[in-house]
Chain A
């Protein structure tokens, strides 16, 4: 099984018209269709044609902002988005192989609702569901719910003890949240539905389990109202930039997205994530560490750079990112990915700068290049997302051995 796995894994991160703030102004963009099913179905179909492992879908509980901490009041960039879990549900029946990984904010939502939503996504996709968890410390998003408040914080204060405490607490809550979501997925054993006409019992209730989770932020009784999903445990992922979120990846995730700018940084980050994994008692589990990159892909390297500059000009400022921004050819990108992979990354989540341009460039230029080099799959080798990632279907934590 593992011998036939793709040496490298590739995902794309879908967000509006693309990751560059002026992406929507490109002639190939479809800014008037961002709120239609067809737009998202087309993007995911293109990703599937490229044999990608999965797509992620960004989300948030407030309008997008160029500021990490507050609304920016801008009207010249894409604002507004649909619920990512529901976009995922809408495209799942239209695809057959690709994994679908929507983003969900743990800070303001209910783990019980999200657990059954992702379980249901796993049913409607026949085992291709994942989840990307994200926290929110934004005051304006907290005000949309009115149930908790956060102190104001500026990015430059991130390292201060006060902010670290708030952020640390939100990530601890996220880890608890994932624990609840996962326990709920296991709260039905696979063979709980018995339909025993002789005794009139539809289920064997001994195979349903209360999860009885109690933590500082919430308690959840269980069991889920939704039976165990096809994959048993859909794939949990998280983006991480420093120690606190690396700990979340180590404790709770199957895939962590990280943002090294070179192979040295990649090596150090992977080592830190592995350390957190061991500390969490998961040293023997397969946890993927994927590199995140923003990509401008063209046949001519100068063209890619010129396109980036042109878009920066339209945006009115130089677009910067938490991730490395690559502008060049498919061969150059393949070189970079191989180099980063040699530092311990098992895959990449590429953020197309312009969805309409860079996604097809990934599927039609980069993927064939990687295939020629023998480091990417020639066809889908599994029916489930866990299968594509080399993750076995886990035993149920509640099942009697």
Chain B
């Protein structure tokens, strides 16, 4: 290999509200107290991670018409918690997931520009879309979008916020006491946007922030989502953390950049990944098995089966065999507010396959859900995990990983203490933060230096 070694990017996903997060472990702390966020963020910064990542959901999940109570429930407001974390960290990037359906561009642009100012250039935005009336019931704009309009709204939303960020060039504030000139140009922030989803004009009231605009993340996986990312995003929060799937995704998305006049390094691919560390590889494997059992209680197993069956299965014994009845193929009504159910496009086939596997292996419902669920991506000694992460990055399965520990808030501690030094020894991971902004750390150019016309508009 004559290729120079790629540098590994690492980020920390604050443990979320799904069953990856193990709250029943005695080591698990609060998911809402600020002290948990401080511990997690400061550990990530100690480990020289690029950024902390926060997911978002704007309606509590329901199953069978009731609020889902088996996973962690409850989270903070994204902008507020990230800005507070800017006070207790110095270098760590702050990435927030913010929905483009239940917000307005002027307000979101103000919030990201403010976060970027108040963190000295560490703001990033994971742009997501939704279309469900279920979530819309919490919002005055109510409503929702036809599914086929969600990307057009997201694109226009992002385009509109870009126009707002760019409405200040950065040199307007003169603040000359002698002449009494505060603004060089009284028209600073002027904008007009007229489009299908937004028709707004006026003056944006936050001066240009250190990064110009936040780093843009995108998480969609459809063909349309990939094009959206290739045309406009700085990074992708992807789901493909295995070697082969990662390489396919990486090749596919990076291959889409040229038609937008972009270079491969202008879009980072950062899959979400889980890990379990042990003294030996065997011990780590054993530990990983235990964690998977913690993640899938009997009650959780029944609920997960309902995602596929689309029926109330509460009468079934999680330690018994799979249901004989077939899934209900009608509109999905059992689970709401959860993206996961859309993964099962052919429930009959999935049910048939699962029954066969359960019978062949003598698995109970709980065994089946554990075995078909996600395995941790990186399992082993710190040396094994460091080597694997590096191999994956060098083999272009990704540019790094967004690590989601299963314990809050201490789940990153051991990784920071043991794996990071090994990556540093290999010369593939920073020993000091470079530059001053998140863009600097991700190797992304400041938007002002990107040549005009290089990016296609929407």
Contact = CB atoms under 8 A, between A and B. Distances in A.
Interface in A1-31: 22, 24-27, 29, 31
Interface stretch (A79-87, A257-265, A288-296): A79-87
A150 interface: no
A201 B138 contact: no
A202 interface: yes
Contacts of A253: none
Contacts of B186: 73-75, 79
Mostly, the B contact residues are loop
Nearest to A201: B69
Interface stretch (A119-127, A234-242, A244-252, A363-371): A119-127
A27 B177 CA distance: 8
Given A80-B173, A225-B57, A36 B80 contact: no
Contacts of B173: 31-32, 35, 80
A85 B79 contact: yes
B83 A144 contact: no
Given A32-B173, A195-B24, A225 B75 contact: yes
Contacts of A140: 202-203
Given A94-B87, A225-B74, A124 B80 contact: yes
A310 interface: no
Contact of A82 (B60, B84, B114, B141): B114
Contact of B177 (A24, A111, A202): A24
Given A37-B86, A80-B188, 19 more contacts: A24-B175, A37-B119, A60-B205, A79-B205, A82-B117, A82-B118, A83-B111, A86-B83, A90-B118, A93-B88, A109-B107, A116-B76, A120-B76, A120-B80, A141-B202, A143-B200, A147-B104, A200-B299, A225-B57
Nearest to B75: A225
B291 interface: no
A314 to B, nearest CB: 7
A74 B24 CA distance: 59
Interface residues on A, range: 35 or more
B114 A87 contact: yes
20 contacts: A62-B205, A63-B189, A71-B203, A80-B206, A83-B114, A86-B115, A89-B80, A116-B77, A120-B77, A121-B84, A124-B84, A145-B106, A146-B198, A146-B200, A193-B73, A202-B72, A205-B69, A219-B137, A223-B67, A226-B32
A37 B203 contact: no
B70 A188 contact: no
Nearest to A64: B205
Given A79-B188, A144-B200, A200 B300 contact: yes
B205 to A, nearest CB: 5
Nearest to B185: A75
A255 interface: no
B203 A220 contact: no
Contact of B80 (A32, A80, A117, A143): A117
Interface of A: 22, 24-27, 29, 31-32, 35-37, 41, 60-64, 71, 73-83, 85-87, 89-94, 108-113, 116-117, 119-121, 123-124, 126, 140-141, 143-147, 188, 193, 195, 197, 199-205, 208, 217-223, 225-227, 314
A218 B75 CA distance: 24
Contacts of A201: 69-70, 299
A213 B119 CA distance: 36
The 3 closest A-B pairs by CB, nearest first: A218-B140, A221-B137, A31-B175
Interface centre among B38, B73, B111 (most CB of A within 10 A): B73
A32 B67 CA distance: 49
A35 B32 contact: no
Contact of B206 (A82, A188, A208, A219): A82
B250 to A, nearest CB: 33
B142 A218 contact: yes
B145 interface: no
A310 to B, nearest CB: 13
Contacts of B107: 61, 108-109, 145
B58 interface: yes
Nearest to A22: B180
B138 A31 contact: no
A202 B30 CA distance: 12
B205 A80 contact: yes
Contacts, number: 231
A225 B183 contact: no
B75 A226 contact: yes
Contact of B207 (A35, A120, A197): A35
A174 to B, nearest CB: 13
Given A108-B107, A112-B138, A221-B137, A80 B207 contact: yes
Nearest to A195: B23
Contacts of B38: 93
Contacts of A93: 34, 38, 84, 87-88
A117 B96 CA distance: 14
Interface centre among B57, B138, B139 (most CB of A within 10 A): B138
A221 B139 CA distance: 8
A191 to B, nearest CB: 13
B416 interface: no
A208 B200 contact: no
Contacts of B184: 75
Interface in B104-149: 104, 106-107, 110-111, 113-115, 117-120, 137-142
Contacts of B185: 75
B434 interface: no
Contacts of A126: 34
Interface centre among A27, A82, A147, A188 (most CB of B within 10 A): A82
B77 A119 contact: yes
Contacts of A92: 84, 87
A37 B80 contact: no
B182 interface: yes
A117 B431 CA distance: 35
Given A93-B88, A202-B69, A227-B74, A37 B297 contact: no
Interface centre among A25, A31, A92, A225 (most CB of B within 10 A): A225
A31 B137 CA distance: 43
B433 interface: no
A181 to B, nearest CB: 12
Contacts of B180: 22, 25, 76, 314
Interface centre among B34, B73, B77, B111 (most CB of A within 10 A): B77
Contact of A208 (B57, B60, B79): B60
B200 to A, nearest CB: 4
B245 interface: no
B139 to A, nearest CB: 6
Contacts of A90: 83-84, 86-87, 118
A71 B139 CA distance: 29
Nearest to A93: B87
B181 interface: yes
Contact of A25 (B33, B81, B102, B177): B177
A233 B437 CA distance: 37
A225 B140 contact: no
Contacts of A119: 76-77
Given A117-B79, A203-B73, A37 B140 contact: no
B39 interface: no
A18 B82 CA distance: 27
Contact of A188 (B57, B74, B77, B86): B74
Interface string B293-308: 0000111100000000
